[in-house]
Structure 1
Amino acid sequence: MTEKLYYTDMYGTEFDAKVVSVDGNKFILDRTLFYPTSGGQPNDTGTVNQDGTTYNVIDVYKEGDDIIHVLDPNSSLTPGAHVHGKIDWDRRYIHMRYHTAVHIIDGVVNNNYSDEGLITGGQIYEDHARVDFDFKEIDREKISKIIDEANDIVNKGLKVFQRDISRDEALNIPGLARTEPGRELIKKLDHVRIIEIENFDFQADGGTHVKNTREVGKIIMGKIENKGKGHKRLNFSLE
């Protein structure tokens, strides 16, 4: 099992670790700050240095309890070696800002518009993000109002923090997981990680986030797409 340092230190950028196993240009460390692609958030990239040689980490993904790191083709590490890792902080931080922005928009919809529909999913990129709604009808005026309310939360500078609760406690909290895959996942976990925005929103989540909503920056409404009956999509960017 890989120790997931990105949960205990979301602002960490460098770390030391031991190579547990190697398979070609893929390897597992005993501990890592590299976040794997998961839950709509892309993986981290960066470098690892072994004995003075620096290698590029180009992909990271989960495999059971292990985190698989992928190097450039034709690169490989030595099993048992000690390495120094460094993530691409600019890439990680923009993902953190976008992920918290998605939670803020989700919280606005859940708190103020749940009688009309909910957010059913989302995806984060480096230059924008998207959220999907199951609203039957939605127009640019309503989306604009939701974004204005989300920016009000950003500007309040609310604290964002994480905590762990038991599976039984999680299953008894309505709306903790707001998608069916999320609800099914909770049933398989012993403990559930919660991301909470102070006095505003809390939900089960496995991603990385900023410490304060003000770090998100202004949310800019982008293209609204009609993906079919009961499936609307909002694209947005951050200033």
Structure 2
Amino acid sequence: MSAGDDRVAVDRGLDDGRWAVAARVGEAVRRRFPADVLAVAVHGPLAHGDDDGGGDREAGLLVVTYRHHAGPKPATRRVDGVLVDLTVAAAEDYLAQARVISPLWPLTADRYVTTQPLHDPTGWLRTLRDEHLGRLARARPAEFSTAARQAWYRGSAAHARAARLAEWYETDQALLMLGEARLAAATVTGLLSRTYYRDPGDAVRRTGLAGADMTEVGVVLGRQPEELAARGRAVDGTIDDLLSG
């Protein structure tokens, strides 16, 4: 492990077990795939620098490769008590993903904007961030409202399903679908306000939906079509609207 490449990991404190494991995984990846790896980075709670070492002891790692199907395979394993989630992507593919405004944008943008390098000799992670921020600067309002409309459909369907399951006393399934409806409603809010979240838990917490019950989630989802319509993207339409996208 070179001092220059991994200074960030040292600064964050290798006495935290997750940083230590992340650094070891990054070093092992570089040693095993020296010709394939362009960059290795940490994303998620550790990358924000305010992680206190508590929680579920998770470490999210990104391995960026020069070519498709190179480097290690994506995997999740617990290593020395730390759950390591290893994402592997070719540089070209990951940059392409960073340019997409999808219905899940509020849940994915943090990975493009907030990453901390374990190995990034060419400064590729800065390119990733700049590509994403540049795409946001060029995005038209209609792109966000279109994505929000798709997220709303998902949330509305999940909420309706949850309500039916509750009527049938399928409580466990109803709670799962209610959770999906909460998250979809949160992503609609994020898209309409151009706000991204660290993770699903952060999304429902920051939008006040973390403890929302069936009725409260229904009220939020019932309000959102008005805002979508005001932005020129009504959730209801004709067959012609459907076929024209």
- TM-score bin, normalised by smaller chain: under 0.3
Q: Which has the higher helix share?
A: 2
More strand by share: 1
The TM-score normalised by the length of structure 1 is: 0.24
* TM-score, normalised relative to structure 2: 0.23
